Amino acid sequence: MTTTIRLQREALDVGAEVEQMTRGRTEIGAVVTFTGLCRADENGVPIAALTLEHYPGMAEAEIARHVEEATARWPLLGVTVVHRCGRIEPGETIVLVATASSHRQAAFAAASFLMDYLKTRAPFWKQVEGADGATWVEAKATDDAAAERWSSAPPRA
Amino acid sequence: MKLLYFAWVRERVGKAEEHVDPPAGVKTVAQLMAWLAGRDEQHAYAFENAKVIRAAIDHSHVRPDAAIAGASEIAFFPPMTGG
């Protein structure tokens, strides 16, 4: 099991991250990647960019706690989580979650679990730059519901 | 103890961090928020709707009834919107 958790201001290369996780690892049979991108609108209103604020130290610790939980729930061989911080323009990648396993079910489930928890538990806050200035994005109840479903899910996919 | 503020909580308080020495009667996160709200107008504005504000003690999420004794760093922030 290999784990990579990183925050960075720079653009991220999804292909290079997957290559890094799987190189020489012939026991891996499945890789699932989730890539979150910056849209050009927020609730239908055009935006120029978004800025991600985070809590240094806790952000990494919180992601690590959820990666640990995913590892306990599913037979994973690799997990990579890279989250951007700072200013991000439409079309750029905000977050990458990649999970590797022998078979696809565990990789799919773990990637979904990690994203649901990243959304609601990892200390990041999005601010969007629109025509009327900067505004903070409000948390969505649907994201809380998505994370909540894992608390009653069976321990293994 | 050291307090950290993020996102609109930070903007309303007007600073990212500060050191405070609350009185002995302030024992929980909820009591600390109420005490902070009474300090000045900016803190009052930041904590006017304390129910929506989340807290973390030493990098772990905590509930409003969590004890603050022994904490070295307490952070206050809005619901998270990362990912």
pLDDT in tens, B40-52: 999 999 999 999 9
From B42, B77, B23, B34, select the one nearest A54 (Cα to Cα): B77
Classify A2-151 by CATH class.
alpha beta
Distances (CA, A) of B46 to A45, A120, A145, B16, B83: 27, 21, 27, 12, 25
CA distance A141 to A45: 20
Tell me if chain A has a CB within 8 Å of the CB of B63. Answer: no
Task: Tell me which chain A residues have a C-beta less than 8 angstroms from the C-beta of B8.
Answer: 136
Residue A43 has a pLDDT of 85
For residues A88 and A52, is the Cβ–Cβ distance under 8 A?
A: yes
**B residues 1-20 near A, CB within 8 Å?**
4, 6-8
pTM strictly above 0.90: yes
Mean pLDDT score of chain A: 94
Q: Do A122 and B56 touch (CB under 8 A)?
A: no
Provide the Cα torsion A22, A36, B58, B10; round to 10°. 150
pLDDT in tens, A71-112: 999 999 999 999 999 999 999 999 999 999 999 999 999 999
Delineate the domains of chain B, giving CATH numbers in brackets: 2-77 (3.10.20.30)
Task: Tell me which chain B residues have a C-beta less than 8 angstroms from the C-beta of A137.
Answer: 81
Instruction: Look at residue B32 and tell me whether its pLDDT is greater than 70.
Output: yes
Instruction: Look at residue A155 and tell me whether its pLDDT is greater than 80.
Output: no
Q: Pairing between strand B2-5 and B73-77?
A: parallel
Comparing CB atoms, the residue among B6, B79, B83 nearest residue A55 is: B6
